[in-house]
């Protein structure tokens, strides 16, 4: 399974669907989250990657 948004490979059972799009959990949270929550989440992800 491949996320239609970020093209990441999604493990079996972890895929989410939203408006008939197949999404990974990260993208699924993104589409469901209010827009003002997104910068906070991206900031956290950047910190983890460093």
Interacting residues with Zn ion (CB under 5 A): 3, 5-6, 24, 27
Complex with Zn ion: residue 7 or 36, whichever CB lies closer = 7
Q: Report the alpha-carbon distance of residue 24 to residue 11 in Å, rounded.
A: 9
Taking alpha carbons only, the member of 12, 19, 20, 21 closest to residue 3 is 21
Complex with Zn ion: residue 6 or 44, whichever CB lies closer = 6
In the complex, least distance from residue 21 CB atom to Zn ion, rounded to whole angstroms: 10
Complex with Zn ion: residue 5 or 18, whichever CB lies closer = 5
Instruction: Give 21's strand partners.
Output: 18
């Amino acid at each position: 399974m491949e996320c239609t948004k970020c093209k990441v490979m999604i493990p079996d059972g972890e895929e989410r669907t939203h408006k008939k799009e197949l999404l990974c959990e990260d993208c699924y949270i993104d589409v469901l989250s209010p827009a003002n929550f997104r910068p906070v989440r991206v900031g956290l992800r950047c910190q983890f990657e460093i």
